[in-house]
Chains A and B, each alone.
Chain A
Amino acid sequence: MQALYAQLLVGLINGSFYALLSLGLAVIFGMLNIINFAHGALYMMGAFAAYFLLNVGGISYWWALLLAPIIVGIFGMILERTMLKFLTGLDHLYGLLLTFGIALIVQGVFQNYFGSSGLPYAIPDQLKGGMNLGFMFLPIYRGWVVVFSLVVCLGTWFLIEKTRLGAYLRAATENPTLVRAFGINVPRMITLTYGLGVGLAALAGVLSAPINQVRPLMGADLIIVVFAVVVIGGMGSIMGSIITGFALGVIEGLTKYFYPEASNTVVFVLMVLVLLVKPTGLTGRAA
């Protein structure tokens, strides 16, 4: 039983990362119509930003949670302004190839300087240790990651679905020309939206640093699974990508307990099944 709970917790943690990353992908896809293959590399940059903030600047984890997404978000906005912007109206394939190329370059540069092994990032003092819940032992940091990710995901959902700014975003996703003709600076909004999606990826990177170490290829491995999550959930829906992210993490965790041999493939098997039954994903619209 202990082992089942432990796997469930691992599942929830992975689910947190899936949710944060697929949420960012969904936001970016909605507004820019780009399948952002650079997402894994930007997640990695978030972890590295936290690492440098701590080891070079002496800036704590708590500040890194705020600063790393901003720094990497700005890097993302520069990418958008200098490159992605020019792909407006072209086939998805171009965006995919460009962002894939960016991912390879960014990862290559980091690998060149830091090799492939992981750099350690310590759990902040306030989140060290664990709690005995009776039925299981809960490392506090892991609990924090799940709760904080959930809060950030729901906050993003609220921003997009319930606020005036979110209404601009949803409207511009449908008809950017008309929204611009109402006086809204849509190109700037697109840049900021890309920054938001990238910032979410970087935030996931910071959260993961104390758990998974900081490695140049940490995002490359993860992003493949995240894309499967996105295919299953469908690109179009904000809440859909959050729920699918957490759910697939948990399903993966359960598989690890009940049938460990399949734990690495279960997400992809599900993806194939969903594609056969509903090619636009469970909650998605046609891409």
Chain B
Amino acid sequence: MPETAMAEAPVKAATGGNILQVRNLEAWYGESHILHGINFDVNAGEVVTLLGRNGAGKTTTLKSIMGIISKRAGSIQFNNQEIIRATSDKIARMGIAFCPEERGIFSSLDVKENLLLPPVVRAGGLPLEQIFDLFPNLKERLSSQGTKLSGGEQQMLAIARILRTGASFLMLDEPTEGLAPVIIQQIGHTIARLKKEGFTILLVEQNFRFASTVADRYYVVEHGKIIDGFSNAELAANMDKLHTYLGV
């Protein structure tokens, strides 16, 4: 798909109203220009996945939406409000929550403190019982030091802590990276269940076999641009292209 067409006619949405609209998003780390005009949309209740090779700019896209990258241009509308110039604490308070690739569990906090750290920004977050229902492992480790958890448990904690806050738009950056198949499956179930609860999820994944179990739509990121997009139903038809894009 030609890039110019992307801006005017993003891939057709599967459900609900438009919740996130990214237009001509550019971002820089210092002097290096990383995103060169990203365009995509996320609709309420969808799971949208960004695919792309290492270094394509997926994490940078999430961080730009979250306001973590200070040098950015273009337009990001969340619930019809422009947030391109907002600081990350303001953006979080508008209802966007971020689970970083490196998980970001705090070593000077125990599991309970890690879990309760993100402040509640609005009503409607999951109650603790429901979170422990999703992640029973965490309940038994509440007083452990955060970074003493296993990799999988840390990933669960990183997801769990953003479910309490009332944010309804979640950005998960490679939640399955480096995890065993059983745990990947558990995270897949969790995402499916969150979707059922009404969360909107923007997922970054390298593993599109995993992504295909949860995603409604895909965008492919390459060299800081969205080069393609399709729905889950079109996945099979796009397999060959996808292999080329991802080099797998």
- Give chain A's interface residues, CB within 8 Å of chain B: 164, 167-168, 170-171, 173-175, 177-186
Nearest chain B CB to A113 CB, angstrom units? 42
Contact A183 B118 (CB under 8 A): yes
Q: Which of B68, B97, B108, B113 has the largest count of A CB atoms less than 10 A from its CB? A: B108
Report the stretch among B1-9, B42-50, B88-96 that lies at the interface. B88-96
Known contacts A180-B87, A183-B165, A185-B89: does B121 contact A171 (CB below 8 Å)?
Answer: no
Known contacts A180-B88, A181-B89: does B121 contact A174 (CB below 8 Å)?
Answer: no
Contact A178 B119 (CB under 8 A): no
Which residues from A are CB-within-8-Å of B92? Answer: 180-183
Nearest chain B CB to A160 CB, angstrom units? 10
In residues 169-217 of chain B, which contact A (Cβ within 8 Å)? none
Secondary structure at the B interface, as helix, strand, loop or mixed, is: loop
Contact B107 A174 (CB under 8 A): yes
Which residues from A are CB-within-8-Å of B108? Answer: 170-171, 173-174
In residues 49-107 of chain B, which contact A (Cβ within 8 Å)? 66-68, 87-89, 91-93, 97-98, 100, 104, 106-107
**CB-CB nearest in chain A for B87:** A180
Nearest chain A CB to B165 CB, angstrom units? 7
**CB-CB nearest in chain B for A177:** B68
Complex CA gap A163/B72 in Å reads 36
Contact A178 B89 (CB under 8 A): no
Interface: B142 (CB within 8 A): no
Q: Which of A173, A184, A186 has the largest count of B CB atoms less than 10 A from its CB? A: A184
Known contacts A167-B116, A171-B109: does B104 contact A178 (CB below 8 Å)?
Answer: yes
Q: Which of B66, B67, B113, B165 has the largest count of A CB atoms less than 10 A from its CB? A: B113
Nearest chain A CB to B100 CB, angstrom units? 7
Contact of A174 among B100, B106, B165 (CB under 8 A): B106
Which residues from B are CB-within-8-Å of A177? Answer: 68, 88
Nearest chain B CB to A16 CB, angstrom units? 27
Nearest chain A CB to B41 CB, angstrom units? 22
Which residues from B are CB-within-8-Å of A184? Answer: 89, 119
Contact B109 A178 (CB under 8 A): no
Nearest chain A CB to B65 CB, angstrom units? 10
Complex CA gap A177/B226 in Å reads 26
A-B pairs with beta carbons under 8 Å apart, 23 shown: A167-B109, A167-B117, A168-B117, A170-B106, A170-B108, A175-B104, A177-B88, A178-B100, A179-B117, A180-B68, A180-B88, A180-B89, A181-B88, A181-B89, A181-B92, A181-B98, A182-B92, A182-B97, A182-B119, A182-B165, A183-B92, A183-B119, A186-B89
Complex CA gap A179/B105 in Å reads 11
Complex CA gap A182/B118 in Å reads 5
Which residues from B are CB-within-8-Å of A174? Answer: 106-108
Which residues from B are CB-within-8-Å of A167? Answer: 109, 113, 116-117
Which residues from A are CB-within-8-Å of B67? Answer: 181
Contact A181 B117 (CB under 8 A): no
Which residues from A are CB-within-8-Å of B109? Answer: 167, 170-171
Complex CA gap A180/B93 in Å reads 10
8 tightest Cβ-Cβ pairs between the two chains A and B: A183-B92, A182-B118, A170-B108, A181-B88, A167-B113, A178-B104, A171-B106, A183-B93
Complex CA gap A254/B199 in Å reads 65
Q: Apart from A182-B92, A182-B165, list 20 A-B contacts with CB within 8 A.
A: A167-B113, A167-B117, A168-B117, A170-B109, A171-B106, A171-B108, A171-B113, A175-B106, A177-B88, A180-B87, A180-B92, A181-B67, A181-B88, A181-B91, A181-B98, A182-B119, A183-B93, A183-B121, A184-B119, A186-B89
